[in-house]
Amino acid sequence: MKFNFLLFLSLATMLYSCGSVNAQKESTIHQDTLSCIQQKIEAYKKQPLTNPPMSVYQYNYNGQVVYFVSAPCCDRYSVVYDKECNVICHPSGGITGRGDGKCADFFTARTDEKLLWKDERKPK
């Protein structure tokens, strides 16, 4: 009887530990996801001021969280990143101003806008 109880207690502890490890992994993944866009923002802050000033927005697009980074100038592309900072598309900019055509519906299909950062430095 004592052996069965110890075996049960060991198994229960292992199962509980596995759940905790999974919860920690999910938390780490979320933090890594947040840090990838934060790292990009920190890099943008170190670049020269652009005209118009750059900004980073978070949206839901096609069922996923994405980050939109405005074009820093002129005919340059804006960028949409997924939650792991992989480039999804360029919805605007370029020679035509219409981006790369990979997400032509971005501006009409995006939802849940959240401004994460806007460069508010003043020209010197």
Going residue by residue through the chain (124 aa), what tens digit of pLDDT does each one get?
444 444 343 434 433 444 444 444 433 444 555 589 999 999 999 999 999 999 999 999 999 999 999 998 878 999 999 999 999 999 999 999 999 999 999 999 999 999 999 999 988 7
Residue 122 dihedral angles phi and psi, to the nearest 5°: -100, 145
Longest dimension (CA), the chain: 80
Residue 85 dihedral angles phi and psi, to the nearest 5°: 65, 30
Q: What is the pTM of this model?
A: 0.71
